[in-house]
Amino acid sequence: MGVPGLTVKVNCVPTEANRDQLVPLAALAKDRDLSVRFIEMMPIGLGRNLGRLTQEEVLAQLTDAFGAPLDCPPPPGAGPSTYRTFPGFTGRVGFISAVSHQFCHNCNRVRLTATGYLKTCLQYETGRDLKAARRMTSCARSSQRPSGRNRPATIFPPPPSPATRP
């Protein structure tokens, strides 16, 4: 797109409601060096009730419009996405399909929610409340004597040893 080192990714969650918009969206990558990524709806929260489309359904729709997909290397920082391109395309089309093509073993992402939770997986409600941890650290610092004896060594428990991991 004309800026060295800048990677543009356009994300879309394909559902029955936006099925007719997927081909025009993917066409953005035809003449532009960018990635259009289709992120599979996870069946959690409100996503349980939405008509999600699988990677195969989206790929079939794109194949009908653009021809047979071609393998292509992922761009830097692609994470767990798989990428394809189509004949005559400058950019790529990516798929992040956590349900139909589980990639937990390759996932390298953590997420920080708007409410301050650090999550290693969106599938689960568990995480670390960083806002509470920050408040604990701030309180410990404000009551700390100059020697530092009142400050906790850490706010997180140590990780399990390799022998005790599941």
127 domain-assigned = yes
Instruction: Check whether residue 36 and residue 73 sit in a common domain.
Output: yes
pLDDT digits (tens, 9 = 90+) for 133-147: 666 666 555 555 454
Instruction: Check whether residue 28 and residue 73 sit in a common domain.
Output: yes
Instruction: Check whether residue 70 and residue 150 sit in a common domain.
Output: no
Quote the CA–CA distance of 112 and 114 in Å, as a whole number: 7
More confidently predicted of 112 and 106: 112
Instruction: Check whether residue 32 and residue 55 sit in a common domain.
Output: yes
Is the predicted pLDDT of residue 87 greater than 60, yes or no?
Answer: yes
Instruction: Check whether residue 16 and residue 96 sit in a common domain.
Output: yes
What pLDDT, on a 0 to 100 scale, did the predictor assign at position 120?
Answer: 78
Q: Structural domain of residue 128, as residue ranges?
A: 110-155
Residue 58 main-chain phi, psi, to 5 deg: -65, -45
Instruction: Check whether residue 53 and residue 90 sit in a common domain.
Output: yes
Most confident of 5-19, 32-46, 92-106: 5-19
Quote the CA–CA distance of 39 and 149 in Å, as a whole number: 48
Cα 56 to chain centroid distance, Å, stands at 19
Q: How many domains does the chain have?
A: 2
**Counting Cβ atoms within 10 Å, is residue 97 exposed (0-12), middle (13-18) or buried (19+)?**
buried
Instruction: Check whether residue 120 and residue 99 sit in a common domain.
Output: no
Instruction: Check whether residue 29 and residue 95 sit in a common domain.
Output: yes
Q: How confident is the model at residue 39 (pLDDT cuts 50, 70, 90)?
A: confident
160 domain-assigned = no
Closest CA to 75 of 23, 36, 25, 30: 36
Quote the CA–CA distance of 66 and 17 in Å, as a whole number: 22
102 domain-assigned = yes
71 domain-assigned = yes
Instruction: Check whether residue 16 and residue 69 sit in a common domain.
Output: yes
What pLDDT, on a 0 to 100 scale, did the predictor assign at position 56?
Answer: 93
More confidently predicted of 92 and 107: 92
Instruction: Check whether residue 115 and residue 95 sit in a common domain.
Output: no
Instruction: Check whether residue 45 and residue 79 sit in a common domain.
Output: yes
121 domain-assigned = yes
Is the predicted pLDDT of residue 65 greater than 80, yes or no?
Answer: yes
Instruction: Check whether residue 15 and residue 80 sit in a common domain.
Output: yes
More confidently predicted of 1 and 56: 56
pLDDT digits (tens, 9 = 90+) for 51-63: 888 899 999 999 9
